[in-house]
A and B are shown apart, each in its own frame.
Chain A
């Protein structure tokens, strides 16, 4: 029964703690994320969102607890199953849009030149940047760089996609486009983990975890979290504040 459940999970985090020297970043954190959904990790700055994502993509190693990705203990061999869009644009400014995406396609073992070129075109069309493929990164706006960064993260069709604050600096129209695209990826079975501190992003996720001071203070669907406040018309922002206050009372 437990194995069958684990098979349906994209990510399992069990009692994970992480410290930066003496600073506690994550404390006894547990999460179970089903496959094929958009899962939002929400919280204020310093809540531990980026640390959690870095642990999940293998950039950090946890001292305590257990992490499983797609039912397996994460190893270097699993890196090609992961797409990662860091908080910074993380692009090579001297290269063109297409050269950046092509570089990451090569890194993720898309060896066949024709197939790679086709895939690069596909993702650049997807993020509406095919017409700008030969432009240098420096010529692009912040939103365009975000889109190139996303293209680099998805060029190898990963089943697990980690996006660290992907909509920061995007205008509302572009943000809606991003979420439309994430929904398309979900429908193809891709699991997306999004970290954000905006409730606008939260509303688009299938499930959410509210993080505060390295701990999960609430987890559920947006509707469940809003209903938990007891107010019929509560917003996610109100829900977040409700759980923060409740956590404060518990701590006291």
Chain B
């Protein structure tokens, strides 16, 4: 593995997105539109939005990170450029890391926009430290980006990739405590929730934002997310077979 290769790939991704102005504009604007729509649809009394906002922040980070990276990585394969890269001195780990670095910048920008818009424009209340919320969200993003790359290795085209959204993202919204507590679900579903990253993202972020807990206090959630991010990126590098174009 050569970090310079990963950085070269990340630089290329940055140039690609910035040169495609419409995509770049959409990446920046869509999170604001989505968050505004959610805000408009929620009753303003009883602090319901305050309660659900941390879960929404985590969900949107996973959703946008997954979508952005998954589709882009798939295009790398369908355009044949992945095949070309695989025949070069670049290793599979370089490619996964390059994608992680490259899309992290944009996913981070989205997260910052959502976070600040939610707190300062939509006036959602929180009690924890802003920087700790931010650090936690970064980890959620890394999970989402790795998940996007991993899942895209199973899709042969954009249509298939889009089908993975209801399969991978939507169940997490229902099973991971976004809408109702995990404890209220059946035992079987609670077990399923234990294997989904959004469960720990929602739990950790809620504890930081609503209860004012520190990153150390949500160490369990943090640890699971780190393990998930590392594990999924290792599996991705392994599954990214050299038969890239086949």
Contact = CB atoms under 8 A, between A and B. Distances in A.
Contact of A86 (B15, B19, B83): B83
A80 B5 CA distance: 13
Interface string A66-87: 0000000000110110101011
Contacts of A104: 84, 88
A79 B89 contact: yes
A114 to B, nearest CB: 17
B239 interface: no
Interface in B2-61: 4-5, 8, 12, 15-17, 19-20
Given A94-B19, A107-B88, A107-B89, A86 B12 contact: no
Contact of B89 (A80, A88, A95): A80
Nearest to B90: A107
A94 B75 CA distance: 12
B156 to A, nearest CB: 14
A92 B244 contact: no
B87 interface: yes
Nearest to A61: B242
Interface stretch (A4-12, A52-60, A229-237): A52-60
A82 B85 CA distance: 12
Given A59-B87, A107-B90, A92 B12 contact: yes
B86 interface: yes
B80 interface: yes
Given A59-B244, A59-B245, A152-B84, A99 B89 contact: no
Contacts of B17: 94
Nearest to B7: A106
B81 interface: yes
Interface in B228-244: 242-244
Given A95-B16, A95-B19, A99-B15, A90 B81 contact: yes
B103 to A, nearest CB: 14
A136 B89 contact: no
Contacts of A249: none
A104 B90 CA distance: 10
Contacts of A92: 12, 16, 79, 81
A57 B83 CA distance: 10
B21 to A, nearest CB: 10
A91 B81 contact: yes
A76 B84 contact: no
A76 B89 contact: yes
A92 B81 CA distance: 7
A84 B16 contact: no
B214 interface: no
Nearest to B2: A109
A84 B86 CA distance: 10
A90 B16 contact: no
Nearest to B16: A94
Given A59-B243, A60-B242, A107-B8, A90 B80 contact: yes
Nearest to A51: B246
B8 A84 contact: no
A173 to B, nearest CB: 26
Interface in A31-60: 54, 57-60
A95 B245 contact: no
Contact of B83 (A90, A94, A96, A107): A90
Contacts of B81: 90-92
Contacts of A54: 243, 245-246
Contacts of B16: 92, 94-95
Contacts of B245: 54, 59, 86, 88
B91 interface: yes
B90 A88 contact: no
B224 to A, nearest CB: 34
Nearest to B19: A94
Interface of B: 4-5, 8, 12, 15-17, 19-20, 79-81, 83-91, 242-246
10 contacts: A54-B245, A54-B246, A77-B89, A80-B88, A90-B81, A92-B81, A93-B79, A94-B16, A95-B12, A104-B84
Interface of A: 20, 54, 57-61, 76-77, 79-80, 82, 84, 86-96, 99, 103-104, 106-109, 111, 136, 152
Q: Please name the 8 residue pairs, one residue from A and one from B, whose CB atoms are nearest each other, closest first.
A: A88-B80, A90-B80, A94-B16, A79-B89, A84-B87, A57-B87, A106-B8, A90-B84
Given A77-B89, A94-B16, 5 more contacts: A59-B244, A80-B89, A90-B79, A90-B81, A103-B12
